[in-house]
Structure 1
Amino acid sequence: MTHPFLIPGKGLREFYTPERCFITELLSHPSREVSLARARVAPGVTTQLHALDVEETYVIETGSGVMEVGGDRFRVGPGDGVRIPTGTPQRIENDGVTDLVFLCLCQPRFRAEGYADLETQADGPSP
């Protein structure tokens, strides 16, 4: 029997995404109105320009880089938080020499169908 306060997890497994970063889902359960993940971006990598149908907040844990939100670019580092409004184009660049690691809090919960790849849409269909 499952405890009523337990939110079952699927285990912690890091996976690579087409967004050009590694993701570990820390909390993503249909019973919750939020989701939490850890993202890791390798040195020299800029994530895919994208937008979500949810509000997202980044909290930088380690590393540093340049965040782009709605066309505005600014530096981020450990302890910084970034609020990304629903539907706003975003990406982050790791311009450092170590991994850039940050938490991603989505409200409501992230769902893959709410992810819009703005790079592919801008480039049009592949030949």
Structure 2
Amino acid sequence: MLKRTLLECPEFLAGDHTALRELLHPAKQPVQLGYSLAHGRLAPGRRSKWHKLTSSEVYYFIGRQGRFSIGSETELVEGGSIVYVPPGENQSLENIGMTDIEFLCLVDPAWRIEDEQVTE
């Protein structure tokens, strides 16, 4: 059995300037997965840099409010919202709340730094 807690996972600043903790990654844990799963957060009033991945992504928002943009489309997101980002789509998240916005991000195939391009 593999069990991890959020605080056991080191936090790092991603290229898009969100704070991430990788919860599951097939290159880092003994798991047979084709995807990776990360917990992310973004401080109030901040916006992630525009970026795109060669992988598809699914965001699940745990709490708070934000604006998620894919290309020219922007939608409000809040706790319980899910956003699918197709591979190669330019994206950004803006925190419009008063506290950190938190989310889980599933990346398929698993996230690799060379698959991410910051576009601003």
Contact 2:49 2:92 in 1 (8 A): yes
Unaligned runs of 5+ in 2: none
Residue aligning to 2:71: 70
Unaligned runs of 5+ in 1: 120-127
Contact 1:55 1:86 in 2 (8 A): yes
Between Structure 1 and Structure 2, how many residues are aligned?
A: 113
Please identify the structure whose Cα radius of gyration is greater.
1
Task: Compute the TM-score of the two structures, normalised by the length of structure 1.
Answer: 0.83
Alpha-carbon distance in 1 for matches of 2:99, 2:72: 25
| Higher relative strand content | 2
Q: Which runs of 4+ in 1 moved over 2 A?
A: 5-8
Report deviation, 1:7.
8.9
Pairing of 1:1-127 with structure 2 (within 5 A): 6=2, 11-30=8-27, 31-119=32-120
Alpha-carbon distance in 2 for matches of 1:7, 1:111: 23
Alpha-carbon distance in 1 for matches of 2:74, 2:113: 25
Report deviation, 1:117.
0.8
For 1:56, what is the secondary structure of its paired residue? strand
Percent identity, aligned pairs only, is 34
Alpha-carbon distance in 1 for matches of 2:108, 2:15: 22
- Cα root mean square deviation, aligned: 1.7
